Amino acid sequence: MPSDRVLGLGYMQAATDRAPTRIDFYVPDGFVFTPDANGAATGSVVGSDVIAISTLPPEHPLTGVLTIEEPAAFATEGLACTGGSTHDAVWAASVPAPTGAFKIPIFVDGRTFTICPAVARLGGTPTAIAFQLGLVSNSGINRPLVRAPSAPGRFVWSATVMRAGLPDVEIRSIVDLPQRAIFTARVVRGIVRISGRVTANRRGIPHVRIHANVAKKRMGGVDFYGRTRADGRFTLIHRLRRGTFFVRVNSYSDQRDVTAGGCAVPSAAAGGCVSATEMILGLQAAPATIRVRSGGSP
């Protein structure tokens, strides 16, 4: 989730798992959902897609763009995939192929969007499907499909996965918002002390990996690392030579298995909830840069 206006979403499975025939993604209440991307015209690019295939090397996924489509053009596919021929909106994932690019439609109904992976056309089982839902650029293009909530809270994204001959299962992705990283930096006797905190929904996040960069210029310099404590706070210490330095800090993203607690709420899927992850976002700490001055070691 790189900003409050564009959201990344994905599904993963093992190459040995049976291929999904349909995946229903559910947008949780609180997120702003605009399936028509603010009235974007048919053919407009509204995001991107990445699909990994079991028959391809992991480093060579299929990459394409998400576009707004005319629902009537996919009425037959929509009926076969969802059981209905009319939908609130239809997007398409563009997939490159030796015989020419083709489109996999995504059908939007209410706060649910559904994809039925075309396994035969893809040439293998999709082991990962990732979307960037929305497009915001400096040129004034404003086509968000999903925007982050304005109010803090705990939000559960979920997907129901269907496979031939197996019961439907649910997977969940849990995120506490807003997530923030802040820091300060000061120099005493030639040692810079960098301290801060990473929070989610106003509570500290433990064990988040932290990266700090201290440089005389705005590039290069020295990198060092640490982790947040139980309360989300962190402290990093580094000896400096004489001079003026720029300090930058960021936190790393993480996905934590919380299936035991995250799947405690009963699922409507016949096979139940089988996986839950907690999402920790990668953040640029605020302020973006702190300028410090060192007189060197005493």
* 93 and 197 both lie in a single domain: no
Domains of the chain: total: 2
CATH number, position 219: 2.60.40.1930
Domain of 79?
Answer: 7-151
Q: Is residue 276 part of a domain?
A: no
CA distance 68 to 80: 20
* 191 and 141 both lie in a single domain: no
Q: Is residue 41 part of a domain?
A: yes
> 0.75 exceeded by the pTM?
yes
> Final residue of a domain: which of 151, 168, 187?
151
* 145 and 186 both lie in a single domain: no
Distance of CA 4 to the CA centre of its chain: 11
- Over residues 204-222, the pLDDT tens digits come to 999 999 999 999 876 678 9
* 139 and 184 both lie in a single domain: no
- Over residues 26-51, the pLDDT tens digits come to 999 999 999 999 889 999 999 999 99
- Over residues 77-126, the pLDDT tens digits come to 999 999 998 999 999 999 887 667 889 999 999 999 999 998 888 888 99
8 A C-beta contact, residue 49 and residue 130: yes
CA distance 51 to 125: 10
Mean pLDDT of 152-160: 95
Does 7 score more than 80 pLDDT? no
Record the tokens describing residue 161, joined without a space.
């996965």
Q: Is residue 167 part of a domain?
A: no
* 102 and 213 both lie in a single domain: no
Q: Is residue 104 part of a domain?
A: yes
Q: Is residue 117 part of a domain?
A: yes
* 54 and 186 both lie in a single domain: no
Q: Is residue 265 part of a domain?
A: no
Which residue is associated with the tokens 């197996």? 166
- Dihedral sign for Cα 133, 135, 144, 106, please: negative
CA distance 48 to 94: 8
Note the pLDDT of residue 139: 62
- Dihedral sign for Cα 177, 256, 252, 32, please: negative
